[in-house]
Amino acid sequence: MTAGYLLQQLANGLSNGAVYAIFALGYTLVFSILDILNFTQGAVFAVGAYLTYSLMTGHIGGGQLHLHLGLRLPLWLAFTAGALISGLLGVAIEFLVFRPLRRRRADPLLALVASIGLATLLVNALQLIYGAQNHNFPFHALGSLPPVVYLGPVIVRSIQLIILGVTLLALAALWLFSRSRYGKALFAVAENPAVASLLGISVSRYIVWTFFLSGLLGGIAGTLVGLSYSISPYFGQNYGLIGLAVIVLGGLGDIPGAVVGGLVMGVIEALTVGVLDFYISGVGSGYQDAISFGILLLVLLFRPQGLLGRKLVQRV
């Protein structure tokens, strides 16, 4: 096993981890504010990808429906519009599911189950419209960009580099936001909604914005991942479980933690395959999930606050 080989596996892990990270960001954002797991995130992710696909190719359907839109947008415009509509979908989910449940002071478990139900509904709607088959972005969606780039001895798929870049950009934007007056108000809402409202902060408006942002991130992530592979109605659900593991790894509700958790998860998976399979075929790839989730369990036992989690000092 050479250093170049390990470096390549590390790069594989980081690039796949970037996908986990960008998915987990939207997840953790809602959790950090509302302490609920919004399982519609995987569905919004898929919807975002299909929206961009349809706006770009001018084609809706493949399942029970065949429609041709009168327009075809360039990738960047379709991407932006797709992400914004995904954000609005996030808002709609807040109004349709989470807000009514909060009003009734429903158990958080109920919100979780409701979100799983809505996610299933959304995914089935996608299947009805587009069919179960895979759709693909046009091959030249990314223009003249080469499919892979060589960083020294290491090969990385260009789209994967873009995903890593966008993830870090999103993190930076969230960091800047967190330093602003609005960001601090949002943190106040997260920590104590009653106190926040006594400071004049409109809690419901901030929650709506949170859902918008998380839907926006979901749409961005879905399109990027769709560009990287191909899209099918269920492709977001594969990220649901791993995304959950990632935000636990990073510390529930910890926003930078979600990114670090995603990257770490990606690297663990890559090294599991890279090291174990190198010596005994099929062992690492066969037990990949067992090993990643085993590590997750250890983290939970020894660092329940997550990898980055700082212990909160709470005096009462």
Partner 1 sequence: MKLERIALLTALLALPAALAQTVSSPIPIGAALAETSNVALLGQEEVVGVKLAQSYVNSHGGVDGTPIKVILEDTGGNVTGAINAFQLLMNKDHVVGIVGPTLSQQAFGADPIAVQAKVPVIGPSDTANGIPEIGPYVSRVSAPVSAYAPDALKAVLSFHKGITRVAQFYAENDAFSKSEAGTFRQAFKKVGLNLVDVEKTKTGQSNFTSQITTALAKHPQLIEISTLAADGANLVKQLRQFGYTGQIIGGNGLNTPAIFPVCQKYCGGIYIAEAYSPSLKNAVNSWLGQHYRAQYHAAVPQLTAQAFTGVLVFANALSRVAASAHQKIVGMNLAALRVKLNQAVQTTTNFVTPLGAISIYKVPNGGGELNQKDFYVAQIHMNSSGKSGSFVYVK
Partner 2 sequence: MALLEVERLSVNYGAIAALEGVSLEVEAGELVTLIGANGAGKSTTLRAISRLLRPLRGGLRFGGQNLLGLPPDRVVGLGIAHCPEGRQVLSRMNVEDNLRLGAYLRRDKEVAADLERQYQLFPRLRERRRQLGGTLSGGEQQMLAIARALMSRPKLLLLDEPSLGLAPLIVREIFDILAELHRQGVSILLVEQNAQLAMRRSDRTYVLEAGRILLSGRSSELMGDPRVQQAYLGTGAA
Binding site for partner 2 (CB under 8 A): 181, 184-185, 187-188, 191-192, 194-195, 197-204, 312-315
Nearest distance, CB of residue 93 and partner 2, angstroms: 22
* By CB under 8 A, residue 297 contacts partner 1: no
- Give the residue, chosen from 115, 274, 292, 306, that forms a contact with partner 1 under the rule CB under 8 A: 274
Give the residue with the Cβ less far from partner 2, 70 or 200.
Answer: 200
Residue 29 or 141 having the CB closest to partner 1? 141
Among 73, 270, 291, 299, binds partner 1 (CB under 8 A): 270
Binding status of residue 281 toward partner 1 by CB under 8 A? yes
314/204 Cα distance (integer angstroms): 26
Our finding on whether 167 is near partner 1 (CB under 8 A) is no
User: In whole angstroms, what is the distance from residue 68 CA to residue 181 CA?
Assistant: 44
Interface segment toward partner 1; rule CB under 8 A; list 6-14, 26-34, 79-87, 211-219: 6-14
Binding partner 1 by CB under 8 A: which of 27, 45, 209, 235? Answer: 235
DSSP annotation string for the chain: --HHHHHHHHHHHHHHHHHHHHHHHHHHHHHHHHS---TTHHHHHHHHHHHHHHHHH-EEESSS-EEE-S----HHHHHHHHHHHHHHHHHHHIIIIIHHHHHTT--HHHHHHHHHHHHHHHHHHHHHHH-SS-B---TTTTTT--SEEEETTEEEEHHHHHHHHHHHHHHHHHHHHHHSHHHHHHHHHHH-HHHHHHTT--HHHHHHHHHHHHHHHHHHHHHHHHHHS-B-TTTTHHHHHHHHHHHHHH-TT-HHHHHHHHHHHHHHHHHIIIIIHHHSTTHHHHSHHHHHHHHHHHHHHH-TT-SSPPPPP---
Q: Which does residue 199 bind out of partner 2, partner 1, none, counting CB within 5 to 8 angstroms by kind?
A: partner 2
Contact status: 135 vs partner 1 (CB under 8 A)? yes
- Asked if 16 interacts with partner 1 (CB under 8 A), we say yes
Provide φ and ψ at 310, rounded to 5°: -95, 140
Could you tell me the smallest distance in angstroms from the CB atom of residue 204 to partner 1?
A: 37
Nearest distance from C-beta of residue 309 to partner 1, angstroms? 27
Give the CA angle between residues 300, 234, 90 to the nearest 5°.
75
Q: Which of 40, 54, 223, 228 contacts partner 1 by CB under 8 A?
A: 228
Which CB, 154 or 201, lies closer to partner 2?
201
Contact call for residue 15 and partner 1 (CB under 8 A) = yes
Which one, of 243, 268, 271, lies nearest residue 1 by Cα?
271
- Under the criterion CB under 8 A, does residue 54 sit at the interface with partner 1? no
* Residue 3, binding choice from partner 1, partner 2, none, Cβ under 5 to 8 Å by partner class: none
Torsion of CA 97, 102, 108, 110, to 10 degrees: -50
Q: Could you say which of 157, 183, 197, 309 contacts partner 1 (CB under 8 A)?
A: 157
> Which one of partner 1, partner 2, none is in contact with 19 (Cβ closer than 5 to 8 A by kind)?
partner 1
The contact set with partner 1 (CB under 8 A) reads 1, 5, 8-9, 12-13, 15-16, 19, 127, 131-136, 139, 147-148, 155, 157, 225, 228-230, 232, 234-235, 238, 269-271, 273-274, 277-278, 281-282, 284-286
